[in-house]
Structure 1
C-alpha cells in the first residue's frame, strides 16, 4: 500500500426531513476495502451521495483521493468508479454502443480494457440491454467502472439480487482490483457475507450514527465462533433496544 487514503470522512453531518447523519468519520486506505453496513434508512446511501458530491454536507469534510470537494472535484470524479444497485443504461442499447457512449464521458476511457472485461464476464456485446439478467447488468456496470482508470470503486448494494456464482465472480474481480495496493473499495451492502469475504474493515451505521469502525479480523477475534453476520445482527438488536 502506498500510505495514501483513498477516502476520508471527518465529522460529516447532513440533515433533511426527519433524518440526520451525525458526525460520521472513517477512512479507506489504498489497497483496502471498507464494508459499509446498516439497515434501510441507516444513512448508507446518504453517505455515498455526500462522497460523490451529489449533495452538500452541513458540516465536516470529505476528501477523495487526497483532494477536498472544491471546484476541481470534477477531475477527481474521473478516478471514481461507481456501481449502484440499479444500472443506469437505457434498455435500447447494447454493450457495444455503451462503449461509444462512455468514450465521450471519460477522458481516460479504455475500450481495450472494457472489451476484455466483457470477455471475462461473458457479456455479449450486441445483446440488447433490456434482455440482460440482473447479474449481467451488474457485471456491465462493473466493466464500465473498471475501464476508465478509476482508483476508488464505490459500490452501493451492487451484489444484491445476484446468484451465488455471479456474486463470487464479482467479489473475485474486486479483490483483484485492490491487490496492487494502489486502488480501494467502499462496498455498501446488506449481504454481510460478501463484506466478510472481501473487506478489511467494517463500518456500521445505525439511524445516521456510526456505531462501529473496526478491522474485520479484530471484530471476529473478539467474537469467537460467530460469523460477521451474526455479530452485526446482535449489534443491530442492541441498538434497537436503546
Structure 2
C-alpha cells in the first residue's frame, strides 16, 4: 500500500524528553489518529515533519518527497492546522485570500469564500476579533482551499463546539473519499477518532506503543470486568493489559471472539480508543 507519510526511526532528544526511534506510516486515502497524553511526543513529531525542528536522526518522506530537500514543494501540497495557529491578527478574514493566493500556486479563492460562508465567518471581521473556535474554522478554510493532498492537524478541533466539530469530521471523511487524499489527526478527543479514523497510532513518553487499524480494534478488542479468581485463571495469551481494582480486574482483551467461544456467558464491552489509551498508560502491559 502506498504511503502519504513515512516516518522512519525519528529521534529527538531534549533535556527532559526524548522522542525515541519513532516509526509509523499514513497510508494514502486514510485518516490516521495520533493519540497520547500531554508530553507524549505528538507535537514534536509533527514539528519535525514540518521542518520546524531538526531531529537528531531519522527520515521523513511526505508524498514521496524528502521533508527537507523538497520542503517548498511539500508545503504547496499539504494543509496544516495547528493548535494556537492564527492568521495575521490585524487582517480582515477576506484579506486572507489576497495573502494566500501569493503563497499557494493552486489557491482557490472561490472555494475559500465558500468555506467562509459555510463556517459562518464574517468577511469583514478582523482575525484578532475572532473567538478561538472561529480562528480554528478560519485555519481549516485556509488548509482546505489550496487543493492540499494531505492534511496535518494538531489538536485542530479542540476549540470547536460539538456541532461544528461534527461538521469538520464529515469534511475530513469527504476529503479522503477519492483515496488519494490523507489525514493525520493528532487529538485528545478520542471519540472523534472512534467516528472517523482508519488507523490509530498511540504514543507514550516518546515511544510508539500501539499501531492498529480501526477495524482490528472494533473486531478484536474488548474490555472485560471480572473477579480476581477468574482473572487468575485466564492465560496471558487471552489479554494484553489489565488494571486491578479493589474487588475486580478490568482486562483489555485482543481476541474477544475466541474468548466468547470458550466462555459464552462472558460480557465483553466494546473497547473505545480512550479505553485502550488508559489501559496502556495506567494498566499493566503483557
Q: Normalised by the shorter chain, which TM-score bucket?
A: over 0.9
Q: In structure 2, which of residues 99, 108, 113 is the aligned counterpart of residue 110 of structure 1? A: 108
Mind listing any 5+ residue stretches in structure 2 that lack a counterpart?
A: 223-268
Aligned with 2:192: secondary structure?
Answer: helix
Matched, 1:228 2:273: yes
CA distance in 2, matches of 1:145, 1:227: 29
Which residue in 2 is equivalent to 1:187? Answer: 185
Q: Which has the larger radius of gyration?
A: 2
Q: Give yes or no for the alignment of 1:24 onto 2:69.
A: no
Structure number with the bigger relative contact order (C-alpha 8 A, sep ≥ 6) is 1
Q: Is the 8 A contact 1:37 1:204 kept in 2?
A: yes
Give the structure-1-normalised TM-score: 0.93
Q: 1:73 is matched with which residue: 59, 71, 74?
A: 71
Question: Which deviations, in whole Å up to 9, do the C-alpha atoms of 1:40-80 show, x marking residues without a partner?
Answer: 11000000011111112212210000111243321111111
Preserved contact between residue 86 and residue 135 of structure 2 (Cα < 8 Å)? no
SS of structure 1 residue aligned to 2:18:
strand
Instruction: Number of aligned residue pairs: give it.
Output: 239
- How far the C-alpha of 1:211 sits from its partner, in A, is 0.2
Aligned counterpart for 1:121 among listed residues 107, 119, 122: 119
Residue in structure 2 matching 1:217, options 194, 215, 218: 215
- The question of 1:130 aligning with 2:93 is answered no
TM-score by length of 2: 0.80
Structure 2 match to 1:178: 176
> In 2, Cα distance between the equivalents of 1:35 and 1:234?
17
The reply to whether residue 10 of structure 1 matches residue 8 of structure 2 is yes
8 Å contact kept, 1:4–1:66: no
The aligned counterpart of 2:257 is none
